[in-house]
Amino acid sequence: MNAHFVKLHSGSPAGLRSQTAAAVEETLRLRTTSLLLGLDALSILDDAVIASMIVALRELRDVGGTVRLVTGNGAHRKRLAQLGLDRVFDVLSNPEKAT
């Protein structure tokens, strides 16, 4: 199954919600249920980023899908681990590892 890759880039909470909602819609439109969210363009993983990732995961899980995170940023990976989200999401170092 092919995964749809989207690089998150917006810094505002509304922008992140909009961007992840559009990513979920596009993933489903492409007839796949696997979404890869690229995090490296974001300076920090704040509450808005975390919330948007969880909402996307819930929406795709409702249809049997999943969200995987892509980041090579050590600080991002550490934050995900501190929050226990590395046990909720698969965290990849680059999108090519999704195959």
Alpha carbons 96 and 58: distance in angstroms, whole number = 24
93: CB partners within 8 A, 6+ apart: 70, 71, 72
Q: What is the CATH number of the domain that holds 84?
A: 3.30.750.24
Alpha carbons 84 and 82: distance in angstroms, whole number = 6
pLDDT band for 97, please (50, 70, 90 cuts): low
The CA distances from residue 57 to 74, 79, 93, in Å, are 22, 18, 19
What total of structural domains would you count in the chain? 1
Output the pLDDT for position 10: 74
Residue reference for tokens 């249809």: 63
Burial of 36 per CB tally in 10 Å (0-12, 13-18, 19+):
buried
Q: What does the mean pLDDT of the chain come to? A: 93
Q: What is the pTM of this model?
A: 0.92
Q: Which domain holds residue 50?
A: 4-98
